[in-house]
Structure 1
Amino acid sequence: MITALTTFTLPKPITREEARRIFLSTAPKYQGVPGLLRKTYLLSEDGLTAGGVYFWNSKAEAEAVYTPAWRSFVKEKYGTEPSITYFESPVVVDNVAQQIFSDE
């Protein structure tokens, strides 16, 4: 499994409520995406950095989403370029499902 952390610095700070409204407008776009297990939207306390934590089955499935079109969408929506960092996630603890997942 792969965790992708996307971040972008906003041109001006936004409030939690502004972020919530924006995030809810884009959330349906991520439902049913092949390989995406979960996405968590992020907003820094000062409102200047936003992004997401994405949990993927594989890096290939993640890279299939982070296309030039996706980068353009982010730039148009938020006025800034996103950065993406990938992490291996060999074990995930899910307290809601009360399970531990491993990629083996």
Structure 2
Amino acid sequence: MITAVTTFRLPKPITREEARSIFLSTAPLYRGVSGLFRKTYMISEDGMTAGGVYFWNSRQDAEALYTDAWRARAREKYGADPTVTYFESPVVVDNVAEQILSER
């Protein structure tokens, strides 16, 4: 499993409500994306950094999303270029599903 963290250093701060509105406008784009099992949007307390934490089945699935078109859409929404950092996630605790997931 892979966790990808995306961040955008914004040109000016946005409020939580502004961030919520932007996030809700893009959230439907992530429904049904192959290999993505969860995305969490985030905004820093000072409103200067936004981003997301994505939980993927594989790095290949993740890389299929982060295309030039995805980056252009992000730049249009946030006025900033995104960074993407990948992490191996060999164990995931899911308290909602009451499971511990682990790769073999």
Spell out the pairing of 1:33-48 with structure 2 (5 A cutoff): 33-48=33-48
- Equivalent in the alignment of 1:74: 74
Match of 1:90 in 2: 90
Deviation at 1:9, TM superposition (A): 0.5
SS of the residue aligned with 2:6? strand
Distance 2:47 2:94 in 1: 28
- Distance in 2 between residues matched to 1:103 and 1:75, nearest whole Å: 34
Offset, 1:18: 0.7
Q: Provide the alpha-carbon RMSD of the alignment.
A: 0.5
Aligned twin of 2:65: 65
5+ residue gaps, structure 2: none
Output the CA distance in 2 between the equivalents of 1:19 and 1:26. 11
**Once the two structures are aligned, what percentage of the paired residues are identical?**
74
1:103 Cα deviation from its structure 2 partner: 1.7
**Offset of 1:29 from its aligned partner?**
0.2
Measured in 2, the distance between the counterparts of 1:39 and 1:76 equals 20
- After TM superposition, the score normalised by the length of structure 2 is 0.98
TM-score (norm 1): 0.98
Q: Which runs of 4+ in 1 moved over 4 A?
A: none
